[in-house]
Amino acid sequence: MGMQETTATTAPSPQSRRGRLLRWLPDRLAAEGSLGGLLLRRLRDGVIVLLLVVTVIFFLAHVVGNPALVFAPVDATDEHIDKIHRQFGLDRPVTERYWEYLVDLSRLDFGESTWQQRPAIDAVTEALPSTIYLTVVGLGAAAVLGVIPGIVAGARARKPFDKASNLASVAALSVPNFWLGLLLILLLGVQLGWLPTSGRFETASIVMPALTLGIVHGGRIFQLVRSATFEEMSKPYVTVARSKGLTEWNILRRHVVRNTGVTTATIVGWEYVRMWGGAVFAIEYVFAWPGVGLLTIDAAHRQDFFVLQAAVIIAGAFVIFSNLLIDMGYQFIDRRIAAT
Amino acid sequence: MSVAVAKRTSSGEPAPSTEHRVWGRLIDMLGSRGWILLVLFLVLLVAASIVPDVFAPHDHDTQNLRARLLGPGESSSEGLHLLGTDSLGRDLFSRMVVGTRLTLFIAVTATLIGAGIGVLFGLLGGYFGGRTDRLLMRLGEAQTAMPMFLVAILLLSLLGPSVGILLVVLPCLVWPIFARVVRAEALRLREETFIEASIATGCSTSTILGRHLLPNVAPRILVLCVVEIGHVMLSEAGLSFLGVGVQPPDTTWGLLISEGRPLLAVAWWLTILPGVLLGISVLVLNLLGRYWEARSGAAG
Amino acid sequence: MSSLPLLEVEDLHVTFRTASGPVHAVDGVSFTMRPGSSLGVVGESGSGKSVTARALLRLFAITDDVQISGAVRFDGQDLLRIDERRLRDVRGGQIGMIFQDPLTSLNPLMAVGEQIAESLRLHRGMSRSEAASEAVELLARVGIADPEQRATELPSSFSGGMRQRVMISLAIACRPRLLIADEPTTALDVTVQAEILLLLDELRRSEGMALMLITHDFGVVAATCDDVQVMYAGKLVEKASMAHLFDRANHPYTEGLLRLVPRFEDAHTGRLHPIPGQPPITGGGGSSCAFAPRCSHAVDRCRSEVPPEIAVGPEHVSACWLAAERAKDTTDAGHPWRRTP
């Protein structure tokens, strides 16, 4: 999907370097290089991001649209909508409602699902483990499909395997991920009948959606790992290792992989966050995998605003949290290595 | 440090330049004349979206119940159906030709809007620096931190799916990329001596940004646009596939895939072929963008 | 002193195929080295001297599209024709190599002792512990204090000079018969340079290795080598013994290079004598002397025919059309690096 990365805030702008602006405590701590400070700052940034999203949602629902219509189920009558209007106190000023909205959210009260007749958060927390399961298995598949060929292609650059795997990775990234899922269903499910193609009813159900995720994200991991390995292979110490009489395989195993290890681990870690940016949800829909993506899309079709909102916010919080963990883990390892 | 980690931003990803090498190999494989093929393909797409009737052998909307679900290459009383027909006997190839217009229109327009916002924000960040810069950058960061695809579904469902709303939602997904490039260039330019010289001779900052910065980043922005059009195509296809994007009777390639999905087991071509066309288009745009980048040295 | 040659390079050509056409980096180089001798290869960057050294062991990057022809006979076998497996036995086992940049030549994430031991286990079949203790001895041998402790440290805790010492210990670990040092002191401080050169010279004598020293700096060669050969644009332009060359440099290019060495007499004028012009980017292929465009002595013949190697004295050849007449003119320049035999 077209979701992309953004830039750093870590690089101090000239202004902040001059110290003209009052810096927040986390900024100062992070600038001093303490891990705790960095963690605090990233937490704060995460909360700001969530707040921003929540505000946009509120603004769209309450200011741009008619909230009563938004909250009502698809088949609501006029009478029903009037009732909702009273029930939610929608005649009160927007600022008051906004505050109330924030208070509700902070209590994890995301409203009542109009479609499932239960708290929206329940529907989401029920679906979340399925998505986490799928993303973790999918990441495993992506790592296997991306890292090993990436190392081999990088080490044997410009050889047939490198060319072929480059082409494959580029193809995997150029086709729509949901289409890739459909293609796999056609080949492995319909034609060969090897694997279940929808739902989550048996252990093997995970294979196809995870494989699809694995191919899409493995393509990216492949490209990054290949570049990292290639770069490492052109370093002088590799020539030295060759001049010692080591075989290419031993050079790769004993020297190169050791040096690209941290890079590879982080590449895979970031890919996990990327997975939540899009692919997994469409793939859930394709395979009817009962996760947050399927829930969200069903909720969208049924105009169930509260479930939609809960899904976005909870999934968002999850992504922010895992992103933070990965960053911290990376920083930790990096500093350990720098220290030795 | 010893570990050659492509230095990553606080919540971004490894420096994108690492990716180029893979593309570089492919571009080499294309040879020196390969770009002509790429451009030819795009010219065909554009032509098909301007004058679809020239390319479409059949009327895309004419139902023919006696020619339902014909496979690729089969013929009906209407003549040959190169890529087969759908469950209402409509010619798939003609529908793909007709879908080209909206597919391209949405992708190009959304990318241009996104590029405009990104360039503006990047300039503002680079121009004002400090708090404005950090605010804008944090806004961009929100894009990575959030599952934007879910946000897009929420927005489209709140506002009602339509082409117009897609043109609001899709640019939101791409602007940070453009903002980052422009901002980085602005920050870099500030350090350059000729900028200092311009300041010394009394040029205003906005003149400097307009006269020096934009010409400097223009080639990169154009390359990015070409590549991002492909990515936006994929995003649009995804949203349309999920039913929150383009709505029938309008049609795009993504919607065609979605329409074919229930018939996957009986008429694979309805799902697979539009996806192939979409995939090839994205690949061509990517290759052309990187080819251009490699040739013009716009990589910066 | 004529024993069987240790290394015999014959008509070596190395061509890189690049996107912008073939580059003849080494263009018909021939020379021999006796066991235990020391040879300096001098030239500007791009003269093909490093490529020559790498070609001996076929040490090129995987992405280099390189073509090597000729013969490199080492100890009876042609290194260009033996298979990978036997070549690997020679690499590190028979021929050790030291590279220019000690900062990047060691694996940053592997203890230096381990990097030395790797070679020992491979070529000398030592066990892990034998190799580890031998590595410590080697570190001591190249003058690293507290070697036991240092062997366990990563290269990042060593200074540039110390790292080059580690590199040397690594290269001599398996007692090679030939040590190739490619600009071993270029990246180092002047004072450290001298120490490293002394160490190399001392090791050569004590271990009985032959030493091939590649450098752009005549001063370095003067301090270490018995024989010199000068390369220009992929060709050898002059070969001689060190003492002989300083006294009777024949080729105009050699003369120019020697003038580049800052001399004590010039110190008060602060004047250097650069050779005008730039060396050609690709060597070879031409039908003229490659140096002719920069040569103040060039005559018509220099621009129309490639000069052959002409003997101008005992074990002294010069690839110059004017070699014979120049040989008569040369007078003792009384160079400060002139060594007493």
Handedness of CA A266, A271, A272, A274 (dihedral sign): positive
**Could you give the CA distance from residue A9 to residue A147 in angstroms, rounded to a whole number?**
29
Specify the amino acid at residue C172. Answer: I
Determine, for residues A240 and C154 on separate chains, whether the beta-carbon distance falls below 8 Å.
no
pLDDT confidence of residue C65 = 81
Six-digit token string for C222: 């003067």
Paired sense of beta strands C38-42 and C95-98, if any: unpaired
**Could you give the CA distance from residue C157 to residue C108 in angstroms, rounded to a whole number?**
10
Task: Identify the DSSP state of A22.
Answer: P
Helices B148-159 & A292-301 angle (0-180, nearest 10): 10
Q: Which of B13, B130, B157 has its CB closest to that of A270?
A: B13
Report the 10 Å Cβ neighbour count for A24.
12
Average pLDDT for B3-31 = 45
B151 in contact with A, Cβ within 8 Å: yes
pLDDT confidence of residue A216 = 92
> C279 CB contacts (<8 Å, ≥6 apart)?
C44, C46, C47, C232, C233, C294
Quickly tell me which residue has 């290949």 as its tokens: A226
Determine, for residues B278 and A176 on separate chains, whether the beta-carbon distance falls below 8 Å.
yes
pLDDT interval class at B35 (50, 70, 90): confident
Region of poorest pLDDT, from A32-36, B14-18, C147-151: B14-18
The length of chain A in residues reads: 340
C chain contacts of residue A256, beta-carbon cutoff 8 Å: none
pLDDT confidence of residue A1 = 36
Q: What part of B 250-269 touches A (C-beta under 8 Å)?
A: 254, 257, 261, 264-265, 268
Measured in degrees and rounded to the nearest 5, phi and psi for residue B58 equal -130, 165
**Could you give the CA distance from residue A299 to residue A305 in angstroms, rounded to a whole number?**
7
Q: Which of A234, A237, A337 has its CB closest to that of C105?
A: A237
B chain contacts of residue C104, beta-carbon cutoff 8 Å: none
Residue pair C154/C204 in contact (Cβ under 8 Å)? The answer is no
Res. B17: pLDDT tops 90: no
State the SS3 of chain C: CCCCCCEEEEEEEEEEEECCEEEEEEEEEEEEECCCCEEEEECCCCCCHHHHHHHHCCCCCCCCCEEEEEEEEECCEECCCCCHHHHHHHECCCEEEECCCCCCCCCCCCCHHHHHHHHHHHHHCCCHHHHHHHHHHHHHHCCCCCHHHHCCCCHHHCCHHHHHHHHHHHHHCCCCCEEEEECCCCCCCHHHHHHHHHHHHHHHHHHCCEEEEEECCHHHHHHHCCEEEEEECCEEEEEEEHHHHHHHCCCHHHHHHHHHCCCHHHCCCCCCCCCCCCCCCCECCCCCCCCHHHCCCCCHHHHHCCCCCEEEECCEEECCCCHHHHHHHCCCCCCCCCCCC
Domain locations along chain A: 38-109, 130-339
pLDDT confidence of residue A61 = 79
Interface residues on C facing B, Cβ-Cβ cutoff 8 A: 108-109, 154, 156
Handedness of CA A239, A243, A247, A251 (dihedral sign): negative
Q: Which of A234, A245, A255 has its CB closest to that of C122?
A: A245
State the chains in contact with C (3 or more Cβ–Cβ pairs under 8 Å): A, B
Res. B251: pLDDT tops 50: yes
Res. B76: pLDDT tops 70: yes
What is the set of domains in chain C, with CATH numbers?
A: 7-225 (3.40.50.300), 247-263+283-333 (no CATH)
Six-digit token string for B218: 């223009």
| Stronger pLDDT, B184 or A226, i.e. the higher one | A226
pLDDT confidence of residue B168 = 87
Give the minimum alpha-carbon distance from C62 to chain B in angstroms, rounded to a whole number.
Answer: 15
| DSSP 3-state of A20 | coil
Q: What is the mean pLDDT of chain B?
A: 78
pLDDT interval class at B214 (50, 70, 90): confident
| Stronger pLDDT, B70 or C172, i.e. the higher one | C172
Nearest chain A residue to B128, by CA: A15
pLDDT confidence of residue A212 = 93
Res. A22: pLDDT tops 80: no
Give the minimum alpha-carbon distance from C166 to chain A in angstroms, rounded to a whole number.
Answer: 12
Nearest chain B residue to A17, by CA: B130
A158 in contact with C, Cβ within 8 Å: yes
Determine, for residues B3 and C109 on separate chains, whether the beta-carbon distance falls below 8 Å.
yes
Paired sense of beta strands C95-98 and C310-313, if any: unpaired
Torsion of CA C82, C83, C89, C92, to 10 degrees: 80
**Could you give the CA distance from residue C110 to residue B150 in angstroms, rounded to a whole number?**
45
**Could you give the CA distance from residue A233 to residue A250 in angstroms, rounded to a whole number?**
12
Region of poorest pLDDT, from A26-30, A63-67, B23-27, C84-88: A26-30
Average pLDDT for A41-63 = 81
| Stronger pLDDT, B13 or C63, i.e. the higher one | C63
Beta-bridged to residue C98, according to DSSP, are: C181
Average pLDDT for A142-168 = 88
**Could you give the CA distance from residue B45 to residue B100 in angstroms, rounded to a whole number?**
7
Report the 10 Å Cβ neighbour count for B296.
12
| Stronger pLDDT, B85 or A4, i.e. the higher one | B85
Residue pair B175/B157 in contact (Cβ under 8 Å)? The answer is no
Give the minimum alpha-carbon distance from B54 to chain C in angstroms, rounded to a whole number.
Answer: 42
Helices B193-200 & B163-191 angle (0-180, nearest 10): 90
For chain A, the C-alpha Rg in angstroms (whole number) is 24
Six-digit token string for B137: 């950058």
Strands of the sheet containing C77-78, edge to edge, are C21-33, C7-18, C66-74, C77-78
Nearest chain A residue to B233, by CA: A2
| CA distances, B10 to each of A108, A253, B238, C223 (Å) | 28, 30, 28, 53
Q: Which of A233, A245, A340 has its CB closest to that of C62?
A: A233
Res. B175: pLDDT tops 50: yes
Region of poorest pLDDT, from A97-106, B83-92, B137-146, C151-160: B137-146
pLDDT confidence of residue C180 = 93
Nearest chain B residue to C154, by CA: B2
Paired sense of beta strands B75-76 and B79-80, if any: antiparallel
State the chains in contact with B (3 or more Cβ–Cβ pairs under 8 Å): A, C
The candidate with the shortest Cα–Cα distance to B245, out of A131, A184, A282, is A282
Determine, for residues B2 and A281 on separate chains, whether the beta-carbon distance falls below 8 Å.
no
A259 in contact with C, Cβ within 8 Å: yes
Determine, for residues A6 and B265 on separate chains, whether the beta-carbon distance falls below 8 Å.
no
Determine, for residues B137 and A186 on separate chains, whether the beta-carbon distance falls below 8 Å.
no
B chain contacts of residue C154, beta-carbon cutoff 8 Å: 2
| Stronger pLDDT, A98 or B77, i.e. the higher one | A98
Paired sense of beta strands C235-241 and C227-232, if any: antiparallel
Give the minimum alpha-carbon distance from C31 to chain A in angstroms, rounded to a whole number.
Answer: 22
| DSSP 3-state of B76 | strand
Residue to test with chain A: of B19, B20, B22, most A Cβ within 10 A = B22
Res. A141: pLDDT tops 90: yes
C chain contacts of residue A158, beta-carbon cutoff 8 Å: 62-63
Average pLDDT for B155-177 = 86
Determine, for residues C122 and A246 on separate chains, whether the beta-carbon distance falls below 8 Å.
yes
Determine, for residues A258 and C110 on separate chains, whether the beta-carbon distance falls below 8 Å.
yes
Q: Give DSSP secondary structure letters for B107-126.
A: HHHHHHHHHHHHHHHHHHHH
Beta-bridged to residue C10, according to DSSP, are: C71
Nearest chain B residue to C103, by CA: B2
A chain contacts of residue B151, beta-carbon cutoff 8 Å: 53, 312, 316
Residue pair C16/C187 in contact (Cβ under 8 Å)? The answer is no
Q: Number of Cβ pairs closer than 8 Å across A and C?
A: 74
Mean pLDDT by 10 residues, chain C (341 residues): 78 84 85 91 86 89 83 89 89 90 87 92 90 92 90 90 90 91 84 86 89 88 87 87 81 81 57 66 66 82 84 84 74 45 37
Quickly tell me which residue has 């010893």 as its tokens: B2
Determine, for residues A174 and B141 on separate chains, whether the beta-carbon distance falls below 8 Å.
no
In angstroms, how far is CA B82 from the centroid of its own chain?
A: 28
C chain contacts of residue B2, beta-carbon cutoff 8 Å: 108-109, 154, 156
In angstroms, how far is CA B127 from the centroid of its own chain?
A: 28
The CATH number of A130-339 is 1.10.3720.10
Give the minimum alpha-carbon distance from C90 to chain A in angstroms, rounded to a whole number.
Answer: 7
The candidate with the shortest Cα–Cα distance to A67, out of A53, A43, A87, A44, is A87
Max mean pLDDT range (A27-41, B99-113, B163-177, C186-200): B99-113
Give the minimum alpha-carbon distance from B129 to chain A in angstroms, rounded to a whole number.
Answer: 7
Nearest chain C residue to A247, by CA: C88
* pTM for the predicted model, two decimal places: 0.81
pLDDT confidence of residue C235 = 86
**Could you give the CA distance from residue A179 to residue B257 in angstroms, rounded to a whole number?**
7
The candidate with the shortest Cα–Cα distance to B129, out of A32, A17, A46, A43, is A17
A chain contacts of residue C93, beta-carbon cutoff 8 Å: 245
Res. A12: pLDDT tops 70: no
Handedness of CA B153, B159, B162, B167 (dihedral sign): negative
Determine, for residues B150 and A293 on separate chains, whether the beta-carbon distance falls below 8 Å.
yes
Give the minimum alpha-carbon distance from B18 to chain A in angstroms, rounded to a whole number.
Answer: 6
The candidate with the shortest Cα–Cα distance to C38, out of C209, C167, C172, is C209
Q: Which of A233, A237, A245 has its CB closest to that of C93?
A: A245
Res. A5: pLDDT tops 50: no
Percent of chain B with pLDDT over 90: 15
Q: pLDDT tens digit string along A287-335?
A: 999 999 999 998 888 888 889 889 988 988 888 888 888 888 888 887 7
pLDDT confidence of residue B5 = 33
**Could you give the CA distance from residue A288 to residue C117 in angstroms, rounded to a whole number?**
56
Determine, for residues A179 and B275 on separate chains, whether the beta-carbon distance falls below 8 Å.
yes
pLDDT interval class at A32 (50, 70, 90): low
Buried b (16+ CB within 10 A) or exposed e, C251-278: bbbbbbbbbbbebeeeeeeeeeeebeee
Nearest chain A residue to C101, by CA: A236
Determine, for residues C96 and A155 on separate chains, whether the beta-carbon distance falls below 8 Å.
no
| Stronger pLDDT, A231 or A78, i.e. the higher one | A231
**Could you give the CA distance from residue C216 to residue C222 in angstroms, rounded to a whole number?**
12
Residue pair B99/B85 in contact (Cβ under 8 Å)? The answer is no
Res. A51: pLDDT tops 70: yes
Angle C303-C308-C309 from CA coordinates, rounded to 5°: 135
Determine, for residues A7 and B140 on separate chains, whether the beta-carbon distance falls below 8 Å.
yes
A chain contacts of residue B234, beta-carbon cutoff 8 Å: 1-2, 176
| DSSP 3-state of A335 | helix
Residue pair A277/A223 in contact (Cβ under 8 Å)? The answer is no
C chain contacts of residue B3, beta-carbon cutoff 8 Å: 108-109
C chain contacts of residue A249, beta-carbon cutoff 8 Å: none
Six-digit token string for A41: 């700052």
